[in-house]
Amino acid sequence: MARLPRFVLPGYPQHVIQRGNNRQQILFEEEDYWFLWEKIGVAAEKFQCDIHAYVLMPNHFHLLLTPRLENSIGKLMQYVGRYYVQYFNSRYERTGTLWEGRYRATLLDPKTYLLPVCHYVEANPVRAGLVEQVSEYAWSSYGSNATGSEDPLITPHPEYERLGRSAKARQASYAQTAEFPLDDTLLKAIRDATNKAWLLGDHDFCQAVESLLNRRALPRPRGGDRRSAAYRRHAGME
């Protein structure tokens, strides 16, 4: 079955995940992390993407970024993937593929989901059991967003800027929210939208994107759902 084109709207953020093939480890030594981090930064500048959050995990990485052009994210991921595979295969004397396949991504409504997805991305090491606190993990954007640590990868999103009038106020508000884990419903929504390449937003947001791109933003309801009262009301059948 042909793969659907990705949802891309310049100016709207996307959550992107790239995993190692069969979830194999892609980062071993500190030098590996630095190389990947540097290539992401080069690609973001070269292909006009603003990165708001990221985490580099041993077997995958997450980016939350806003493309300024329609092909910005695709070119960034192609650039990073190609150069990192060349580096990795040379360093570890191997050949062949490194990545699981196409990166996964979801376009999201920034007003509702920008900050929760930032926290979702940065809390990955905690959920994976690598650290106990988000602040203990070195290879994420948490230091920049929560404490003001210098990180040239990060460009604050307007939704982040609304957290406070000063940098310290924004950082304090962000850090306070990050102390609380996301609830299971929100976690599931983020994971499902990203893994299945659907939109992450409410009904009005999805309808607006559908109108702009002239394609469905969410999967069709299953057969059983069509018999439910909620489905019939939504479809205008009652």
Short-list 64, 61, 108, 106, CA closest to 80? 61
Short-list 52, 48, 62, CA closest to 158? 52
Whose tokens are 């933003």? That residue is 217
Short-list 193, 208, 225, 205, CA closest to 6? 193
- pLDDT category of residue 216 using cuts at 50, 70 and 90: confident
Order of strands across the sheet that contains 14-19: 49-57, 60-67, 14-19, 104-107
With 80 as the cut, is the pLDDT of residue 51 above it?
Answer: yes
Mean pLDDT of the chain: 91
pLDDT tens per residue across span 155-179: 999 999 999 999 999 999 999 999 9
Helices 184-196 & 110-122, crossing angle to 10 degrees?
100
- Determine how many CB atoms are found less than 10 A away from the CB of residue 224: 8
Name the percent of the chain lying above pLDDT 70: 89
Residue 180 φ/ψ, nearest 5 degrees: -100, 125
With 90 as the cut, is the pLDDT of residue 2 above it?
Answer: no
pLDDT tens per residue across span 97-155: 999 988 999 999 999 999 999 999 999 999 999 999 999 999 999 999 999 999 999 99
From CA 148, how far away is CA 210, in angstroms rounded?
A: 37
**pTM of the entire structure?**
0.89
Report the pLDDT value the prediction gives residue 69, as an integer from 0 to 100.
Answer: 96
Give residues with Cβ within 8 angstroms of 10, minimum separation 6.
67, 68, 69, 70, 72
Domains, in order of start, for the chain = 14-201 (3.30.70.1290)
pLDDT tens per residue across span 177-211: 999 999 999 999 999 999 988 999 999 999 999 88
